[in-house]
Structure 1
Amino acid sequence: MTSVFNTPPPDFSQKEVQNLVEEHFKIAGSVKSLVSDRDQNFLINSPSGDFIFKISNSMESKDVLDMQNNAIRHIKDNDSDIELTYPQISNNGDEIIEIKKNKSTCFARLLKYIDGTFLKDIDCKNNLLFKLGQFLGRFDLALAGYDHPAAHRSFIWNVQSVNQLRILINKNSTDKKIINYYLDFFKNEVLSHDDHLTKAIIHNDGNDQNVIINANRKISGIIDYGDMIYSYRALEPAVCMAYVAIDNDDPFSSVASILKGYHELNPLNKHELNSIIYLMCMRLCISITMAVYRKKLFPENKYLIVSEMKARKFLKKMLNEDLNKWANQLIEFVR
C-alpha cells in the first residue's frame, strides 16, 4: 500500500522554494535546504524573520497537517511560553497551501523558526535530562484535552500498531527474532494492562534532534510534529528515553532522570511506570525495522539510518538484562 513511508519525498529546488515563499507569503529571503525524513524542509532567512518552509510528502493527508496546526494552537492557549513552530498565514489566508510539481501535488506550510541549539549538540548531564523530562511533561499537560480524528490514524510509529510491525518484520530476517522477543514482552507487560494506561495525543518524537536549547541553556521548544499520534501517554517519555539510552553505555541513571522529571510534572500511574522499559524497547524495534525497510527504497537518504546501528546494539544488549528488574528500578527511582 502506498504511504508517506514508501513514496519519495518532494523534490523542489531552492530557487523554486524561494519563488513559492515570495508568491504565497510575500517574504523574500535566502533559502537553505535542510535534512528531512519523508518531507522536504528549507530554512528561510529574511528581513521579516527566519522561517521553515515545510513541503509535506505527496501522500500526507491535509487532515494530519490540520491536526498538527490545531495542536500547536491548543498548546499555545495553555502554555504560551513553550516555543513551537507556529504556522504562518498565506496571502490567501491559509495555513496550508497546495503546490504542484511534475504532476505531483503536495501541501506546504511556512513555519516559525525556533532559534537555539539541538539537544544532540549539547553535553547532557542528568540535571539537564531531568529538565528534559519536565519539559515533555509540561508539553503533554498543555496538550491535554485536545483531540482530532487524524490523531487516531493507523501509523507504524505508534507502538500500538503491532500488526503493522509484524508485517514489516517478515521482510526483515536480520532482526525478526529479536523483535519477536520484545513483542512478547510488550504483549504481556503492556497490552495486557491496556485499560490502565492513559491515552492521549502526544508528540511521539521527543528525541535529541527535535528538542531545542536556548542561549541560556534552558529547554525552550520542540519541533517536528509529524509523528504526533493518539497513544499511550507513557510513550512520550519512553521515546525520549529510548534515544538517550542508545547513546550511553550505562544508560540507567540518564533515562531514569528523564522519567523522574516527567513524572514530577505529569504523574504516571503504577501501570504506566511499569510499561516504560517495554515501550522504550518497542520504539527501538520500530526504529530499526523502519530503517531496514526504507533504506532499501531510498538508499541516498542517510537520515533514515541515523539511529539504526545504535538501536540494534542496545536491543541486543538488553537481551541479557532482566527487563522486569529494570521496570522495578525505574519505579523506585522516580518515587
Structure 2
Amino acid sequence: MIEQNILQPGQSIKPEVTKDASKTMIKDLYSLNCDSIKELNGYDDKNYIVSVTSVTDNAYIEKISESGYVLKILNSLDSKNPCFIEAQTSLLIFLNENNVHCPKPVKNKYGQYFYTKKLQSGYHIIRLLEFIPGKLLHEIPVSNNLSFEIGIFVGKLDKILQGFDNPVYQSHSSIWMLNSVPRLKEFTFAIKEDNKLQVFLNIINNYEEKVLKNYDKFRKGLIHGDINEQNLIVDGNSDTGWFVSAIIDFGDSHYSCYLFEIAIAMTYIMLTTKTLESGGFVLAGYLQNVKLSDLELSLLKICIEARLTQSLMLGAYSFLKDPENHYILTTAREGWNLLERLRSKPDEELLKTWRNVLDIY
C-alpha cells in the first residue's frame, strides 16, 4: 500500500509557478501590494522573499513587516496534509510566545493561516510568514565557540518544544525523517556510481541493525529535524563574535529521538567547517540542556553517516527530476568527502575525539 505522505520514486512534487503569478497570489490572498519579489533557495517548495508597500483590505495585518515576508508555496505532497501545516503553524505561534525568534505566520484576508490553490502542477498550500533579516550561518566562518553555541541553542529549543503538544506530530512521517532511512533503497536508481551505491547500501543496512532495532531505548520529543547552515540566522560580527539569533524552516519538524536531532545538527556543522572535531563542540553545547545515554553517544557516527546518505541519495533523485535546481546539490559538494572521512575513522576513535571536546566543558 502506498503511503500518501511519503515521497514515492517517480513523483514530481515541486510547484510550477511564475514570479508574476506569485505576486498576484499575494495581492489576491493577502491584499498586499508587492514592491519586489525574489525567489529563495528551495528543495521541493517554492519560496519567495517579498517586500510590500501597503495593505489595502486585510483586517488581520495591523502593521506591515518592515523586513518583508516569505511567500511559501508548498510541494504537492505536503499540501495533501493540511492538518500538519495547521500543527506547524500552531508550533510557530507557540515558539514566538516563548521567546524563540522564528518566522511568524500571517493570516490572509479570510482570516486563515494558509490556503490551498490549484496550480498547473496540482493543489498547493500557500502560506505567508514574516521574513527574519540577518546572515545565514553558511555566510560566515564557523568557529569552535560558535559550534558550541549552536549546540546550546538547539538543546534549549528542544527543551522548549517539550511544552508543545499536538497529536498530529505523533503520526507525521516523511522521507526526510531518519526513521525513513530504509526507504532510501527505493531510490537506488538515482545513484549512477556503483562504488557509492554499495557504500550507501552498507550504511543503510548497518543503520537498520544498530539504530532502528534500538529505537525504543532512545529519549524522544518534538524536534526541529533539519538543523543546518541554511536554517540558522546569526547576529554579531567577526570582532565581537557571532551568535545564533533565530531559526527558520520547521517544515521537517516531527516527533522523534533527540539522538537524531543532534546527529543532524552535527552533520551540517561538520559539512560547513570541514572538520570532524567541530561536531564535538555542537554535541558539547547540546548536552548542556539535553542528556544522551552512552548507547546514544555510541550511535552518533552511524546516524550522521545515515543522514549524509539520505541527503546524497535524495539529492541525486531530486536533481534527476529538477536538473535546473543547483541548490539541491548543496550537500553533494562536500557530503561524499565527509562521508569518506567518517568511514575511515574507527567508531571508538571518533567518539574519543568528541569526548575529548566534552571534557573541556
- Do they fold alike, i.e. is TM over 0.5? yes
2:181 aligned with 1:162: yes
Give the Cα–Cα distance (whole angstroms) in 1 for the partners of residues 283 and 224 of structure 2.
Answer: 16
SS in 2 for 1:98: strand
2:293 aligned with 1:292: no
The 1:185–1:288 alpha-carbon spacing in structure 2 relative to 1, beyond 3 Å, is same
Deviation of residue 32 (structure 1)?
1.6
Superposition pairs of residues 72-83 of structure 1, within 5 angstroms: 72-77=92-97, 79-80=98-99, 82-83=100-101
Deviation of residue 58 (structure 1)?
1.9
Amino acid at match of 1:58: S
Q: Which moved more, 1:117-126 or 1:324-333?
A: 324-333
Q: Which residue of 1 aligns with 2:336?
A: 312
Deviation of residue 8 (structure 1)?
4.0
Q: Of 237, 240, 251, which aligns to 2:265? A: 240
Deviation of residue 4 (structure 1)?
5.6
Q: Of 113, 127, 132, which aligns to 2:150? A: 132
Contact 2:16 / 2:121 at 8 angstroms: preserved in 1? no
How many residue pairs get matched?
Answer: 332
Give the Cα–Cα distance (whole angstroms) in 1 for the partners of residues 309 and 141 of structure 2.
Answer: 26
Q: Deviations over 1:250-298 (max 9, x none)?
A: x232111111011112222322222222211110010111012121111
Give the Cα–Cα distance (whole angstroms) in 2 for the partners of residues 33 and 318 of structure 1.
Answer: 35
Unaligned ranges ≥5, structure 1: none
Contact 1:4 / 1:57 at 8 angstroms: preserved in 2? no
Contact 2:277 / 2:353 at 8 angstroms: preserved in 1? no
Deviation of residue 198 (structure 1)?
1.0
Q: Of 39, 47, 53, which aligns to 1:41? A: 47
Deviation of residue 176 (structure 1)?
2.3
Give the Cα–Cα distance (whole angstroms) in 1 for the partners of residues 179 and 258 of structure 2.
Answer: 12
2:15 aligned with 1:15: no
Q: Which moved more, 1:279-288 or 1:323-332?
A: 323-332
Unaligned ranges ≥5, structure 2: 54-63
SS in 2 for 1:54: strand
Give the Cα–Cα distance (whole angstroms) in 2 for the partners of residues 27 and 231 of structure 1.
Answer: 38
The 1:270–1:147 alpha-carbon spacing in structure 2 relative to 1, beyond 3 Å, is farther
2:291 aligned with 1:267: yes
Q: Which residue of 2 aligns with 1:206?
A: 227
Give the Cα–Cα distance (whole angstroms) in 1 for the partners of residues 30 and 170 of structure 2.
Answer: 28
Give the Cα–Cα distance (whole angstroms) in 2 for the partners of residues 327 and 147 of structure 1.
Answer: 35
Q: Deviations over 1:85-105 (max 9, x none)?
A: 111011111001122223732
Q: Percent identity?
A: 23
Q: Which residue of 2 aligns with 1:65?
A: 85
The 1:170–1:323 alpha-carbon spacing in structure 2 relative to 1, beyond 3 Å, is farther
Q: Of 198, 201, 218, which aligns to 1:197? A: 218
The 1:25–1:32 alpha-carbon spacing in structure 2 relative to 1, beyond 3 Å, is same
Give the Cα–Cα distance (whole angstroms) in 1 for the partners of residues 231 and 331 of structure 2.
Answer: 14
Deviation of residue 171 (structure 1)?
5.3
Give the Cα–Cα distance (whole angstroms) in 1 for the partners of residues 216 and 14 of structure 2.
Answer: 38
2:201 aligned with 1:180: yes
TM-score (norm 1): 0.91
Give the Cα–Cα distance (whole angstroms) in 1 for the partners of residues 317 and 170 of structure 2.
Answer: 24
SS in 2 for 1:207: coil
SS in 2 for 1:234: helix
SS in 1 for 2:127: strand
Give the Cα–Cα distance (whole angstroms) in 2 for the partners of residues 152 and 330 of structure 1.
Answer: 34
Q: Which residue of 2 aligns with 1:228?
A: 253
Deviation of residue 215 (structure 1)?
4.6
Give the Cα–Cα distance (whole angstroms) in 1 for the partners of residues 140 and 113 of structure 2.
Answer: 33
Q: Deviations over 1:155-185 (max 9, x none)?
A: 2211112331222236535322112332344
SS in 2 for 1:161: helix
Contact 2:7 / 2:175 at 8 angstroms: preserved in 1? no
Contact 1:67 / 1:151 at 8 angstroms: preserved in 2? no
SS in 2 for 1:45: strand
SS in 2 for 1:312: helix
Give the Cα–Cα distance (whole angstroms) in 1 for the partners of residues 133 and 192 of structure 2.
Answer: 42
SS in 1 for 2:125: strand
TM-score (norm 2): 0.85
Contact 2:182 / 2:204 at 8 angstroms: preserved in 1? no
